[in-house]
Structure 1
């Protein structure tokens, strides 16, 4: 199905409700969001796991579709499922971050370095410092920070995705940003990046 056809097939809630009776309709949700979910997973776990975790995310969503709440967007719901699955690969994520911090390059073909915010953030001398900071964050804080910075979710959407209050999102994000800022300001070469990418640090 083309992008235009998908866009005119109804809201996420309508499509998911219809898919309870007609499971093939759930393919529309894949068409709309699989690319975004795959990019997010790849940035966190690398190329080797991205395909499998993305497929697991949508398989889990398909199984849970009857419990999807009307009026919601599928995007935060899917990212919440993906974040939960990523959490099961925490050691892989930490190992990748520490490799970047140690070597200054991503051992999985620089899969973090796609486009937009993450390209600027991970560029040059800032990349090892940021990777080191991310590796040291608590898992919950890292989830919140990266759902905001890489998945571009709002605070309310992150709260919905993770099943936590918005106040908890704010406190975790503040704590994560403070930790990242402290790590980056240890190196004067990374200071310009703090001004250029406020999403991460303010």
Structure 2
């Protein structure tokens, strides 16, 4: 772990911060809203981070979770686009009558159910689940990123998992 002085200096070094963390943030944002909007959100994340660098408190944690928090709040502004994108991913075109194509369509439908379920989750549960599953943050890092208590992260993740499991099971029973 870096010293607080080094971490605070990292918030002042925009180019260094971008070089160290842009790829991870882009991966996370792309999974949330697609590649075109993700690039804009990541760029805006670094602009906001630079403008608010004086607010970064290294005693509260590392720089990356702070950046994830900024990115997540920016993504909230784009929630309609995010939900629309998740629903569009759930749509699968008809692939014709070829048996191999039919198997591919069945596989795509299985995978495509998840985005529709994620789109229906409450915002906090979706944010926590995506930070955990896509960004691979630890509970404490998610708490720091979203500025919520650790217990809220744990309960939100538990509820999100239960809802996803129930929704997928319900669709299987249809």
Q: Given the two structures, how large is their TM-score scaled by the length of structure 2?
A: 0.82
Structure whose alpha-carbon radius of gyration is higher: 2
What is the TM-score when the length of structure 1 is the normalising length?
0.72
Whole-Å separation in 2 of the counterparts to 1:81 and 1:179:
26
Deviations 1:86-114 (A, max 9, x none): 0000000100111122327xxxxxxxxxx
SS in 2 for 1:152: coil
**1:182 aligned to which of 162, 166, 169:** 166
Query: Pairwise CA RMSD of aligned residues?
Result: 2.2
Asked if 1:97 corresponds to 2:86, the answer is yes
Match of 2:41 among 19, 40, 53: 53
Unaligned runs of 5+ in 2: 94-106
Matches within 5 A, 1:1-202: 11=2, 13-15=4-6, 17-18=8-9, 23=12, 25-71=13-59, 72-103=61-92, 124-188=108-172
State the structure with bigger RCO (CA 8 A, min sep 6), 1 or 2.
Answer: 2
Sort the Cα spacing of 1:69 and 1:11 in 2 relative to 1 into closer, same or farther, 3 A: same
8 Å contact kept, 1:15–1:26: no
Q: Is the 8 A contact 1:100 1:127 kept in 2?
A: no
> 1:199 corresponds to which residue?
none
Q: What is the rounded CA distance, in whole Å, between the counterparts of 2:140 and 2:7 in structure 1?
A: 21
Which string of whole-angstrom CA distances, capped at 9 and with x for unpartnered residues, describes residues 31-73 of structure 1?
1100000111111111121111101001111111112112421
